[in-house]
């Protein structure tokens, strides 16, 4: 398994960055909800080991089962529909023994793997109208299953990943231009209709999140409550923060003004306890990880490798932006976890699996370059 790879082609920089993010997550979760720290730590260790194992397995061999990957993904999402656990009006989780599993998180990785092989197989036809429609249909089925859970935030993220995948797959700028010309006005109209009193586009709680973003003072004790307190927490950390697990009575976290801070609002805990410096470290690591994935995509030996690395880079970049944007009140509340940092073993393991494939893409490109030189 190792003899065809060279140590110098192994992306230690990427491993170090994602490991640091996972460690920061474990530390921050220990402050937000200490009872969950050990579970997150075990998840991080297991994810790290799985990432290393996958980094040495030829991704081309796994991608040969791309229809099985797609079908398995749909099966998991259908299981949520019929066997899923309901929590606060959303049915997104499957209970397997003592383990709670969220298929919509693994769907992101599985769809990247599926389209990596699908686009490589039909790369000569990717710019035909027939193939673009087929790709839209193939992403539309799992998207609808995720959207109906309901999980608007993850369904939006799936669409973003799909756009990144199609771009990496070589879709023509002509189609990109048409999509922007049609899509942007349609999005503006859709949002305008969604905030109307009698709209049927969004569910009530989804509409209120948009309205809370537009007029936070009106919803200060309801939908905007979490975000307003998150901004207060981050701002109160100033440059150096209040200190890890501090006992300050002015702490937003200690006062339980942010519920479930260990998940979607973990960045506010980091901001309050480690200040601006801690926030910069997290953002730098996220940007570095995404950019390193893009660098791997540029060097990939084939289209499949390019799509895998670019897809993971897009996932980390955009999901990080959305999560941090929510905690700083730059965008409406969406409910997406911060990759590698937020509590949630499904999300954590999925991210490690995705990076494992990216590491193998890097190794394969190095071996391919060495073969050509010889």
Count up the domains in the chain and report the number. Answer: 1
**Residue 189: which H helix or E strand, with range?**
helix 173-194
HSE-up of residue 266 (Cα within 13 Å, Cβ side): 30
Is 61 contained in some domain? yes
Token reading at 245: 């697990």
Q: What is the pLDDT of residues 271-303, one digit of tens each?
A: 999 999 999 999 999 999 999 999 999 999 999
At residue 221, the pLDDT reads 76
Is 242 contained in some domain? yes
Burial of 79 (0-12, 13-18, 19+ CB in 10 A): middle
Single pTM value for the model = 0.91
At residue 92, the pLDDT reads 79
Is 176 contained in some domain? yes
Complete edge-to-edge strand list for the sheet that includes strand 90-96: 85-87, 90-96, 99-101
Average pLDDT of the residues of the chain:
88
Nearest to 28 by CA among 286, 321, 373, 268: 268
Residue 90: strand pairing partners? 87
DSSP 95-159: EETTEEE-HHHHHHHHHHHHHHHHHHHTGGGTTSHHHHHHHHHHHHHHHHHHHTTT-HHHHHHHH
State the average pLDDT over residues 175-197: 82
Q: What is the pLDDT of residues 65-106, one digit of tens each?
A: 999 999 999 999 998 888 777 666 667 778 777 677 889 999
Is 1 contained in some domain? no
Is 2 contained in some domain? no
Residue 374 has pLDDT above 70, yes or no: no
Residue 220 has pLDDT above 90, yes or no: no
Is 220 contained in some domain? yes
Is 173 contained in some domain? yes
Residue 373 has pLDDT above 60, yes or no: no
State the average pLDDT over residues 184-205: 78
Alpha-carbon distance of 140 to 37, in angstroms, equals 37
Token reading at 91: 């049915």
Q: What is the pLDDT of residues 121-158, one digit of tens each?
A: 999 999 999 999 999 999 999 999 998 887 888 999 99
At residue 365, the pLDDT reads 85
Torsion of CA 48, 49, 55, 57, to 10 degrees: -150
| Domain region containing 279 | 7-373
Is 260 contained in some domain? yes
Token reading at 247: 């006992």
């Amino acid at each position: 398994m190792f003899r065809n790879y060279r140590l110098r082609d192994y992306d230690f920089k990427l491993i170090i960055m994602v490991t640091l993010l996972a460690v920061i997550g474990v530390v921050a979760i220990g402050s937000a909800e200490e009872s969950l720290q050990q579970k997150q730590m075990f998840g991080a260790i297991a994810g790290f080991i799985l990432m290393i194992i996958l980094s040495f397995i030829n991704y081309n061999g796994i991608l040969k089962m791309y229809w099985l990957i797609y079908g398995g993904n749909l099966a998991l999402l259908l299981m949520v529909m019929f066997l899923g656990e309901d929590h606060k009006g959303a049915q997104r989780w499957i209970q397997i023994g003592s383990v709670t599993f969220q298929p919509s998180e693994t769907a992101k990785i599985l769809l990247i793997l599926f389209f990596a092989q699908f686009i490589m197989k039909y790369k000569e036809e990717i710019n035909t109208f027939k193939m673009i429609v087929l790709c839209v249909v193939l992403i539309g089925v799992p998207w609808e299953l995720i959207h109906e859970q309901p999980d608007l935030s993850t369904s939006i993220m799936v669409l973003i990943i799909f756009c990144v995948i199609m771009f990496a797959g070589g879709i023509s700028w002509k189609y990109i231009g048409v999509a922007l010309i049609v899509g942007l006005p349609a999005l503006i109209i859709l949002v305008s209709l969604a905030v109307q009193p009698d709209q049927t586009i969004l569910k009530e709680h989804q509409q209120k999140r948009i309205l809370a973003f537009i007029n936070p003072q009106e919803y200060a004790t309801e939908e905007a409550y979490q975000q307003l307190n998150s901004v207060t927490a981050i701002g109160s950390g100033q440059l150096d923060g209040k200190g890890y697990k501090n006992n300050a009575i002015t702490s937003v976290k200690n006062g339980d003004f942010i519920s479930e801070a260990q998940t979607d609002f973990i960045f506010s805990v980091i901001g309050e306890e480690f200040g601006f410096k801690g926030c910069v470290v997290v953002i730098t690591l996220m940007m570095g990880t995404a950019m390193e994935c893009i660098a791997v995509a540029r060097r990939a030996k084939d289209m499949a490798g390019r799509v895998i690395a670019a897809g993971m880079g897009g996932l980390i970049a955009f999901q990080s932006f959305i999560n941090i944007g929510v905690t700083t009140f730059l965008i409406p509340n969406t409910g997406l976890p911060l990759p590698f940092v937020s509590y949630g073993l499904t999300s954590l393991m999925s991210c490690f699996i995705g990076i494992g494939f990216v590491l193998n893409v890097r190794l394969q490109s190095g071996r391919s370059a060495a073969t050509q030189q010889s």
